């Protein structure tokens, strides 16, 4: 197979064991090669700019910034790039949000071993990649005239804050994990409570559980 036919892939994930696992899966193919990697969002943006990869595997939960923010930044620089989002989260939590932000596909890490190669080849060819389960969910919403759920009105960072608070994390813990100030996280919390017409974290948690936004 000629060099031209090889799909060059860049991996951005903060867990070394995940990156190694992905590389092992791709090592078994003849038409896909890993040409770079990064462990956080800032490095992903800087290093990827210097690479000649066609596909970016991007973790949605990076330690320094939200993967969707990284996605938006990289798509500004390289709009033609195929970005395949990887996540531990169920598809119904982040997939549609990621696709709207410009992702070419969304893959859960649980399904990666069996779907990764197919997904990379598909997005490298200019197509979108979603699982059969997500395709069915999208089909169920076609022609749905109901108003969008309130959580879909949130920004990416507000939505992330919602799921973290609903998972039992304090504002201080969230600030530390996202490398933000406590004041900034408190502002996100205040904004999302107003948007969702909720009074406190208890109501927020109840909403998240009712709408299956957290495990």
Q: What is the DSSP string of 25-53?
A: HHHT-SSEEEEEEESSHHHHHHHHHH---
Domains, the chain, ranges and CATH?
3-140 (3.40.50.2300), 150-210 (1.10.10.10)
pLDDT class for 143, splitting at 50, 70, 90? low
**Stretch 186-194: mean pLDDT:** 89
pLDDT on residue 153: 80
Overall average pLDDT of the 202-207 stretch: 89
Dump pLDDT digits (tens) for 94-119. 788 888 889 999 988 888 888 999 99
CA–CA gap between residue 75 and residue 81 (Å, rounded): 7
Q: How many CB atoms lie within 10 A of CB 182?
A: 14
Say what the pTM is. Answer: 0.69
| Token pair 């304090």 in the structure block, residue | 170
Q: pLDDT at residue 148 above 80?
A: no
Could you read off the pLDDT of 26-74 as tens digits, one per residue?
999 999 999 999 999 888 888 887 788 999 999 988 888 888 888 988 8
Q: What local confidence, expressed as pLDDT, does residue 173 receive?
A: 92
171 confidence band (pLDDT: 50, 70, 90): very high
Phi, psi of 143 (to 5 degrees): 80, 5
Q: What is the reported pLDDT for 12?
A: 94
pLDDT of residue 2: 46
């Amino acid at each position: 197979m000629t060099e031209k036919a090889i799909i060059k892939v860049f991996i951005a994930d903060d867990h070394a064991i995940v990156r190694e696992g992905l590389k092992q899966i791709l090592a078994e193919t003849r038409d896909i090669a890993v040409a770079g990697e990064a462990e956080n969002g800032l490095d992903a943006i800087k290093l990827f700019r210097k690479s000649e990869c066609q596909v970016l595997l991007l973790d949605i939960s990076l330690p320094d910034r939200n993967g969707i923010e990284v996605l938006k930044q990289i798509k500004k620089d390289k709009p033609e790039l195929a970005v395949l989002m990887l996540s531990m989260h169920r598809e119904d939590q982040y997939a549609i949000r990621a696709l709207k932000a410009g992702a070419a596909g969304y893959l859960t890490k649980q399904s990666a071993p069996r779907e990764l190669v197919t997904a990379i080849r598909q997005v490298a060819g200019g197509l979108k990649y979603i699982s059969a389960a997500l395709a069915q969910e999208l089909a169920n919403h076609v022609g749905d005239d109901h108003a969008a759920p309130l959580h879909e009105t949130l920004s990416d960072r507000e939505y992330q804050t919602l799921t973290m608070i609903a998972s039992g994390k304090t504002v201080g813990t969230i600030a530390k994990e996202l490398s933000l100030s406590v004041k900034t996280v408190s502002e996100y919390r205040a904004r999302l409570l107003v948007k969702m017409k909720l009074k406190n974290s208890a109501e927020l948690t109840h909403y998240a559980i009712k709408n299956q936004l957290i495990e």
